[in-house]
Amino acid sequence: MGQKETFGRVLHYIRKYWLYLAVSIVMASVTVALTLYFPILTGKVIDLVISPGRVDFPGVFVLLRQMIVVAVLTGAAQWVMNVCNNKMTYRIVEDIRNEAFRRIEILPLKYIDGHSYGEVVSRVIADVDQFADGLLMGFTQFFTGVITILGTLGFMLSINVAVTGVVVLVTPLSFFVAGFIARKTFTMFHLQSETRGEQTALIEEMVGNQKVVQAFSHEDEALSQFDEINQRLQDCSLRAIFFSSLTNPSTRFVNNLVYAGVAVAGALFSIRGGISVGQLSCFLSYASQYTKPFNEISGVVTELQNALACAARIFALIEEEPQIPEPENAAVLKDVEGRVELSQVNFSYVPDKKLITDFNLAVKPGQRVAIVGPTGCGKTTIINLLMRFYDVDQGKISVDGADIREVTRKSLRENYGMVLQETWLKAGTIRDNIVMGRPDATEEEVIAAAKASHAHSFIKRLSKGYDTVIGEDGGSLSQGQKQLLCITRVMLCLPPMLILDEATSSIDTRTEIRIQKAFATMMKGRTSFIVAHRLSTIREADVILVMKDGNIIEQGNHETLLAKKGFYAKLYESQFAS
């Protein structure tokens, strides 16, 4: 996204808070007007000091009272302006983060699979924070600076047109210098933001998998990779900061030229009697105030380049193509029997690399279907398609005769219970994690489900039982305990269709035997899809699908497939050779 498009998008968010913006501009105008009026009062005080011993004290005291009132009003106006700017900035940031998170919720799974979690987090957190800092500085200093420049020009013109002409002639140099540097820094700040996201992604990956890193002695390689990214971040950050830091001294040089020109021209006019000493003092004060906003605006422009670069990244996320929307008349699956059909299904994650071709399958209500095969043959992909995490490229999948693309995703997934090899637990209590699918479940139902999954005994041994708080991804629980909680979650809901993807892979043999019995009870009358590598767990399946290279090469029950002495028989013999 280009700089102009990004700026236009920012204006779109600002438009919602136009009232805050209007009040901020009015208060900025009041602040500037009072600030510029202060030197006039100062000049008048100076002119009242006629000579030693000849001071108009009554007039001075009147002016001093006016100066105090002006100072108080200026402070009040600045406070109101800052309140409006802060409210406007952080409400805009809130809107952007909300929109970004809502977009993440509806992004297709292929986007999440194709981008590191740390990089996505960096966009939503770090980039938005950088954008907020730049936006707040822009609101706080930009409007005040512009109004100050216009106001000082007006006041200077009212005092002396010729001296003001000197100021106006030198001014364009500041705009030229600031604009030239700003164009150079946007690209560098954008690169800095991207590299920072890459660094965040690496840190998130290494910290989240620290046990694996240490187990495989990968520390040196991880440090080397981090050093390389860190060096690139240092290089691009130094270039961005170096060029942006040129703005302030360059504009200061131009501003000093303006101040010197005003001092010389004003002195000449004062000698000739064109202006008084008090007016000259006032003029020099205005010249200083006139040049000061150029330094501030140049700093704002530099910060805005960084802010816009970060905004471009978060807007790119917000504008990512969402998952295929549901039809307006999408049906809601109710009273599902569990009849599942896959007809001539074709699917691949990468367009030029085929995975599943012309896949056909008809599952009757209540059947237990086991899917086996070597790694990468498409077992988990079938699960992704059944749950509609991915849509088929060709063909269709139907549940009870309804194409799953024509029903709501919510109703489809509510009718499936999933236990995966990779567990997922959220930060909260044990109970919170169990009742995720049924928040209204009673305590008795929760305990019954935990007993059925053989999780109740270990839960009661925890410090606070079902009220024990665990961290993200289960905290200190063992992998087996975490998987028991995920099984309990499904036991509590008992939907009409089940998906068990290596559901007992992290559980000891003794507990597995118990859970297999619980599963057998749970699967009665429910259509079940079981993905397994340990073939001992699927002997009782009604249908075993043997997959290879995205196709079903054998189909039947355990005894039939063994009698064929085909691929399944070889897989079975390789596990039970003795």
Question: How is the chain split into domains, by residue range?
Answer: 89-318, 325-415+529-578
pTM (two decimals): 0.64
> Rounded to an integer, what is the distance from CA 490 to the centroid of its chain?
31
Given CA atoms 428, 433, 435, 437 in this order, what sign does their dihedral have?
A: positive
- Give the chain's length: 578
Q: Which CATH architecture has domain 325-415+529-578?
A: 3-Layer(aba) Sandwich (3.40)
Dihedral, CA atoms, 485, 491, 497, 503, nearest 10 degrees?
A: 40
pLDDT at residue 350 in the model: 80
- Ranges of H-type helices in 322-475: 379-386, 409-414, 430-434, 443-452, 456-461
113 exposure class (CB count in 10 Å sphere: 0-12, 13-18, 19+)? exposed
- Ranges of H-type helices in 246-395: 247-271, 277-318, 379-386
Task: Give CA–CA dist 142/244, Å, rounded.
Answer: 17
Task: Give CA–CA dist 81/85, Å, rounded.
Answer: 6
pLDDT at residue 178 in the model: 66
- Low-confidence residues in the chain, pLDDT < 70: 1-3, 47, 49-56, 166-167, 170-175, 177-184, 186, 247-248, 255, 270, 273-280, 282, 289, 291-292, 294-299, 301-302, 503-507, 511, 534, 536-537, 575-578
Tokens matching residue 228: 């390389």
Tokens matching residue 161: 């047109």
Is the CB of residue 290 less than 8 Å from the CB of residue 258?
yes
- β-pair partners for 80: none
> Rounded to an integer, what is the distance from CA 455 to the centroid of its chain?
36
Q: Which amino acid does the sequence have at 145?
A: G
Cβ neighbours of residue 283 closer than 8 Å, sequence gap 6 or more: 156, 159, 160, 163, 262, 266, 275
Q: Which CATH architecture has domain 89-318?
A: Up-down Bundle (1.20)
Tokens matching residue 418: 């999933």
Q: Which amino acid does the sequence have at 496?
A: P
Q: Which amino acid does the sequence have at 120?
A: V
Task: Give CA–CA dist 309/224, Å, rounded.
Answer: 28
3-state secondary structure of 339: coil
DSSP symbol at 353? B
Task: Give CA–CA dist 150/174, Å, rounded.
Answer: 15
Return the beta strands (E) in 448-526 as ranges. Answer: 469-470, 497-501
The number of beta carbons lying within 10 Å of the beta carbon of residue 409 is 17
Rg over alpha carbons for the chain, rounded to the nearest Å, is 36
557 exposure class (CB count in 10 Å sphere: 0-12, 13-18, 19+)? middle
